[in-house]
Amino acid sequence: MKRAAASNESALAEVRDWVRTAQRIVVFTGAGVSAESGIPTFRDALTGLWARFDPERLATEAGFRADPPLVWRWYAERRAAIARAQPNAGHRAIAACEADGARVTVVTQNIDGLHARAGSRTVLELHGNILRVKCLEGCGDPQRIEPRHDWRADPRVPPACPRCGAPLRPDVVWFGELLPQDVFERAEQAVLDADLMLVVGTSALVHPAAGLPLAAHAAGARVVVVNPAPTPIDARAAQVLRGAAGEVLPALLQSSG
């Protein structure tokens, strides 16, 4: 492993070379990639959501069942903030790399939809998407609620499932829940097929998602970490670029590289 500051031009040049010659790239992202869009991370001291709010109350099914209006309102506020946010230079650099012809799969733990809004075409959302809702009792397919039913017009807090009347909940993965199996399987396959994986803005503490960089490394891919702070993946990384995603990714992925 080599460690380098983001300002270290030779480290950047080396990774840019890897990007240019890679056959298939996975960009694995966490909350840090959206930090510069004004969306708080989870575990950063003081500013992280889990430093200020209790995940047991707000990010578990038991917490939702204990107080559905409280949890619904918390996600409604986050949804509104995310709707106001814009993709940043990091999201845009990833999308531009794919538009330039690289075979890029974005595997994200984020629920904000900003990769797609930046123009990334292949985005696997491991933890769901806050803009969607699903039935708390799982009576139907979450994708099919919205076209048939405008839950935003329902004055109840939370709105009710149009099929069975149970509360609707955000279509995000809460603690103790399984990841969407089809999405995770596609992510695993993309990781196995990749020869380069960029691990951007994640503390890499939450499994099973955090196992994907380890799987990439075990399968022989080069793993590059982009993060201002140390992560558990650094020890396996071929290069560690210390810095903010919005600064490092444009420097790394610009097509002239």
| Residues labelled catalytic | 127
Residues of this chain that bind ligand OAD (CB under 6 A): 30-32, 35-36, 41-44, 48, 109, 127, 172-173, 201-203, 205-206, 227-229, 231, 244-245
Among the listed residues 42, 69, 3, the one whose alpha carbon sits nearest the alpha carbon of residue 224: 3
Per DSSP, 160 falls in state B
Among the listed residues 124, 109, 123, the one whose alpha carbon sits nearest the alpha carbon of residue 209: 109
Cα separation, 38 vs 135, in Å, equals 29
Closer residue to ligand OAD in complex, CB, 105/203:
203
Cα separation, 113 vs 81, in Å, equals 12
Closer residue to ligand OAD in complex, CB, 38/165:
38
CB of 125 to ligand OAD, least distance (A): 10
Put the strands of the sheet holding 104-108 in their side by side order.
3-5, 239-242, 222-226, 196-200, 25-29, 104-108, 123-125
Closer residue to ligand OAD in complex, CB, 2/207:
207
CB of 32 to ligand OAD, least distance (A): 2
How many CB atoms neighbour CB 256 within 10 A? 5
How many CB atoms neighbour CB 211 within 10 A? 14
Closer residue to ligand OAD in complex, CB, 22/172:
172
Distances from the Cα of 206 to the Cα of 21, 127, 201, 231, angstroms: 31, 11, 13, 12
CB of 171 to ligand OAD, least distance (A): 12
Closer residue to ligand OAD in complex, CB, 231/239:
231
CB of 147 to ligand OAD, least distance (A): 25
| In contact, 31 and 109? CB cutoff 8 Å | yes
CB of 72 to ligand OAD, least distance (A): 16
